Amino acid sequence: MDRFDYINGKLFAEDVPVAKIAKEVGTPVYIYSKATFLAHLTKMQEAYAELDTTICYSIKACSNINILKFLAEAGSGFDIVSGGELYRAKQAGADMSKVVYAGTGKTDSEILEALEAKIGYFNIESEAELENIIKLAKKSGNKTKAALRVNPDVDPKTHRHTTTGKKESKFGVDIERARKVFAKYGNNDAVELNAIHLHLGSAGKTVDPYVEAIKKTLVLIEQLRSDSFKIDTLDLGGGYGADYETATAPTAGHYAKDIVPLLKGKGLKLILEPGASIAANGAILVTKVLYLKKGGEKKFVIVDAGMNDLLRPPLYGAFHFIWPADVEEAFVPEKRKKELSMEGTEVVDIVGPICEGADFMAQGRSLAPVKRGELLAIFTAGAYGYTMSSNYNSRPQLPEILVDGDKFTIIRKRQTYEDLIALEK
């Protein structure tokens, strides 16, 4: 399903050799596979087909307008977290009724823009925010719907920076407070509060936290219904595992197998907000080996991509499989996995050119032998890769390439030095 494969020792993105793209566009470069994105979306749509389900792809994972366009065409809605993402959704031709808006710090102008655009739902993060949205909805004459984001106090057992559904989180309101919030605001005539939103965190590796959270939430929904509130929608958020390490994340089918039976016959529409599970395996970051070097006992492979291009390894301690784009047949990896014991590999640190000790892509990693000038592919780079990149160290941001079958298109140009100072007056 993930269309980055070795053929005779050469890595292909769908039907295009990765080396060919690198030669024409230069390195480092993000290379996306359209078929891979669509395959993950379809898989999720199919897994939940038994319920009345809307998939709202989380734009912040990977937000290039060309990618949003083909996802919208394939029936995806969108999860947004800012006015900028609302703008992208509109430009992508999204069905606005399938746009949901989360985020703890929505400003008045962002709220007004979203009201004007007639988005499907605001996901409410606090009572003060709900009060403000009610005020602005009344003032602008645009009614809307809202889901109260509750914290089920469930631990998704992921990195502390990607945990959002625990009590001590800045997101949502404690599940025990939800009834009070509905009692106070549930009957206003500008914002229809008819849904519950959850988002446990990102990069989960098991289904259990979702099951636990849904069970707690169904109890709440029963209580709210007995308080005579009409709750007809449950938004389960995102955070479904993406397969960073082969076969360590549950598939969409695994999640659905446990989740669907809990929600069948409950009179609830389901919204899902996957980001990483759609985008992560849809791209690789291709980088060039600049230098090889020894420091004490350590061997370093210095590449031309840095933490400004891919922040996940230093920020989350994230694992990305990294392997040369062209290798001898003996070194073609059977699987992309953390511990790859192959004869002839060497344990190295793969590091970038940024002036920071945290600038690494991998540490203590087995790698096939490489030389200066060779290409390395950093796999599973589609989610929170380009979107978290920056100009740190005054490095121009990378180009994004979309492969579709045997064609590839530059969907974002490499920044130039002029771009770096263009807004500095």
Ligand X SMILES: *Cc1c(COP(=O)(O)O)cnc(C)c1O
Residues of this chain that interact with ligand X (CB under 6 A) are 58, 60-61, 79, 81, 102, 199, 202, 237-240, 273-277, 383
Q: What angle do CA 77, 80, 81 make, to 5 degrees?
A: 165
Beta bridge partners of 151: 174
Cα(241)–Cα(313) distance, integer angstroms: 16
What's the min distance (Å) between Cβ of 380 and ligand X? 12
Identify the CA nearest to 171 among candidates 124, 109, 130, 135: 124
Angle between helical axes of 208-226 and 178-185 (0-180°, round to 10): 40
What's the min distance (Å) between Cβ of 241 and ligand X? 9
Q: Closer to ligand X at the Cβ: 57 or 321?
A: 57
Q: Closer to ligand X at the Cβ: 79 or 359?
A: 79
Q: Closer to ligand X at the Cβ: 323 or 384?
A: 384
Q: Closer to ligand X at the Cβ: 2 or 359?
A: 2
Residue nearest to ligand X (CB): 275
DSSP SS3 for 318? coil
Give whole-number Cα distances, 385 to 106, 281, 285, in Å: 24, 11, 8
List the structure tokens of 94.
């999204």
Give whole-number Cα distances, 262 to 32, 51, 211, 212, 214, in Å: 35, 11, 8, 11, 8
What's the min distance (Å) between Cβ of 199 and ligand X? 4
What's the min distance (Å) between Cβ of 252 and ligand X? 12
What's the min distance (Å) between Cβ of 147 and ligand X? 10
DSSP-assigned letter for residue 358: T
Q: Which helix (H) or strand (E) holds 206?
A: none
Q: Closer to ligand X at the Cβ: 137 or 276?
A: 276
Which of these is catalytic: 141, 160, 355, 364?
355
DSSP 305-334: --TTT--HHHHH-----EEESB--GGG--S
204 Rama sector, left if φ>0, alpha if ψ -120 to 50, beta otherwise: beta
Q: Closer to ligand X at the Cβ: 250 or 274?
A: 274
DSSP SS3 for 166? coil
> Is 355 in the active site?
yes
What's the min distance (Å) between Cβ of 423 and ligand X? 27
Give whole-number Cα distances, 321 to 90, 313, 336, 404, in Å: 35, 11, 6, 23
Catalytic residues, by residue number, are 355
